[in-house]
Chain A
Amino acid sequence: DIQMTQSPSSLSASLGDSVTLTCQASQDINFYLNWYQQKPGKAPKLLIYDASYLEPGVPSRFSGSGAGTHFTFTINSLQPEDIGTYYCQQYDNFPLTFGGGTTVDLK
């Protein structure tokens, strides 16, 4: 199985801050990497697909980059509604796997 390691596991930031999360794959997954946001008690929501493509309707302050084994996800100018847990997910190989998540809250 491909292991997806997210760091940090949690972070606190202030409104307006730029926040960067990382996701490391245990082997090369090309660009087959998606990012999801999950708010407490809610289903995850797709934000970024294929490592860097913004899902329609998602604010442009969210962005993703990377390929191979190292990926980053950035929130430019953190907003109150961005609080939640962010997961990366690979689909280069079965089984499809998620990272353990990064929880973002307000400082």
Chain B
Amino acid sequence: LQLQESGPGLVKPSETLSLTCTVSGGSISTSSYNWVWIRQPPGKGLEWIGSMFYSGTTNFSPSLRGRVTISVDTSNNSFSLTLNSVTAADTAVYYCARGGYNWSPFDTWGQGTLVTVSS
């Protein structure tokens, strides 16, 4: 299984960050795993953003709830992250990952993509 993030590397403040994670080597349409976004600000630790099962069950970090959406696209075997009203504090490397049936562990990760919020 491989995961690959894609999307703009630069987003302006107050605009929307959109990233896609393409899954290869396995189907996204499984109830055994969920699909996860995690971020890491430069030089800092890891922050869980949210997770989604193919069935539609989701869970998000309270610190981001209201700004974040995760969706699954079975036709492209991918899932996406949308984060609204971004600020400089949202600058980070964004990782997509696969989570286990009990939401964890995160056993497969994408390589990560740096998103900078700046005008």
Q: Chain A interface (Cβ within 8 Å of chain B)?
A: 1, 32, 34, 36, 38, 42-46, 49-50, 55, 87, 89, 91, 94-101
Contact = CB atoms under 8 A, between A and B. Distances in A.
Interface of B: 45-48, 51, 59-63, 95, 100, 102-107, 109-112
B109 A43 contact: yes
A87 B48 contact: no
Contact of A34 (B51, B60, B95, B104): B104
Nearest to B100: A49
Given A43-B95, A89-B105, A98 B61 contact: no
Contacts, number: 62
B36 to A, nearest CB: 9
Of B62, B109, B112, the most chain A CB neighbours within 10 A belong to B109
Contacts of B109: 43-45
Contacts of A43: 95, 109-112
- Give the top 8 A-B pairs by smallest Cβ distance, nearest first: A91-B104, A43-B109, A34-B105, A49-B105, A96-B48, A98-B46, A95-B61, A46-B107
Nearest to B65: A95
A1 B47 CA distance: 13
B87 to A, nearest CB: 20
